[in-house]
Amino acid sequence: MKICYGAPRPFWIDNSLFVNCDGGYANPSGHSYVSTAAYLTLAAILTQFDFFRKRIYMQILLYILFLGLIIAILLSRLYLGVHTINQILYGGLLGFALYFLFVHIIRMHKMTSDMFFIIFTDKTIIIILASIQAIILAVSLLVYFLVQNRTNIYDISLKKLCPEIPYYRKFNNDGLVGCLSFITLIGSYYGLIFLAFISKRTNSNNLDAVMNWNQARWLHKLLIFLLFFVFVFLLFWYC
């Protein structure tokens, strides 16, 4: 979406707004999108615990806390000069839509582990979701490689303000990171499918045990830690 809009960040146009370098286009705000979706979802999950469910005032305080965090993040994007008001509102509305879809329509946080694994082992659902994933990935890559924005008018300003940022990160990193992130999500999804099939074979009478860390073998625990550290290393190396 950022590549399609090709909207400049405010500090590209008005150098007096410059605080620090932030590559990529501006619309919609990714920070607003992610923080709104994540914190509202987290609040909805936490309020399901007995401690919060039995205390209405604690639920209210929890939502106030997370809403305060969301507002603080949105305002920080304005302060840094990397987004305009309409861009953070747009991102926030997209994040709210994602939260509403998963929490209030699909109600994913209410699923039992049995139901969750049954969904991931249904062949029809696997085929449908795989087709949707392939379409989204293909469209994302086409947008990244085919859509061109006129960035030459900002080159001089950015070279002066952000000489350390590689050229591709100034404009196209959002599209590239978006495609790579989606590939990561697809990999995670098929990892869950693999886990679901394994659980059916080895522990079909108690799928909840699959989620129990204490019942995992030490070799599996070690493998999980290694994969986690490799992922973190690659993330920091890329950034």
What residue has token string 């994040």?
95
CB 23 within 8 A of CB 175: no
Largest Cα–Cα distance of the chain, in whole Å? Answer: 65
Q: What is the pTM of this model?
A: 0.68
Segment 92-120, tens digit of pLDDT: 999 999 999 888 887 777 777 677 777 76
Segment 201-225, tens digit of pLDDT: 665 555 555 555 556 667 767 777 7
Cα–Cα distance, 106 to 197 (Å, whole number):
23
Residues of the chain falling short of pLDDT 70: 18-20, 22-23, 113, 120, 165-179, 196-217, 220, 232, 234-239
